[in-house]
């Protein structure tokens, strides 16, 4: 029996994802902590990355995941890593397009630590045959 005979084709066409999609108000920049940087005259670059970033498509609720790379030159404050991880986890059920996620993360981090400069790249896993990489920086 093929899919046409047992109704599988119609069941497939009717298939919808019913996962919860949270609004951007679920993003928690309030958990971001910093600590004083003892070498403000230094031009040292700090690089952070994780392959565990995820959010959801705001229209389908399907997961978007990928690698996040952050580079910054601190001025007076550094980002505390555990709080950064918790901040990123607050995106897990948020419906946000990839382009907006990159900009939102950059601006939340700039606002909390006021670096000399910062750049962020979100490299998303391919979905629908299209690979997306979003890169943003401060100052522009």
Beta strand spans in 13-62 (E): 34-36, 46-56
DSSP letter, residue 126:
P
pLDDT tens column, 22-56: 999 999 999 999 999 999 999 999 999 999 999 99
Q: Which residues are catalytic?
A: 57, 64
What confidence tier does 5 reach under pLDDT thresholds 50, 70, 90?
low
* Average pLDDT of the segment spanning 112-127: 96
For the segment 117-127, the average pLDDT, to the nearest whole number, is 95
- Single out the residue of 47, 57, 74 nearest to residue 22, CA to CA: 57
Where do the domains of the chain lie, and which CATH numbers do they carry?
19-138 (3.30.1130.10)
Is the entire prediction scored with pTM above 0.95? no
Which segment of 8-12, 89-93, 112-116 scores lowest on mean pLDDT?
8-12
């Amino acid at each position: 029996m093929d899919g046409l005979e047992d109704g599988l084709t119609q069941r497939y066409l009717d298939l919808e994802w019913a996962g919860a999609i949270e609004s951007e108000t679920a993003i928690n920049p309030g958990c971001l902590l910093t600590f004083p940087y003892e070498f403000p005259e230094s031009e040292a670059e700090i690089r952070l990355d994780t392959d565990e970033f995820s959010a959801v498509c705001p229209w389908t609720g399907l997961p978007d995941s990928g690698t996040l790379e952050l580079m910054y030159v601190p001025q007076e404050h550094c980002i505390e890593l555990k709080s950064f991880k918790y901040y990123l986890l607050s995106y897990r059920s948020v419906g946000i397009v990839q382009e907006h996620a990159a900009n939102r993360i950059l601006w939340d981090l700039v606002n909390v630590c006021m670096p000399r400069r910062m750049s962020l790249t979100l490299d998303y896993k391919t979905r629908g045959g299209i690979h997306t990489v979003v890169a943003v920086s401060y100052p522009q």
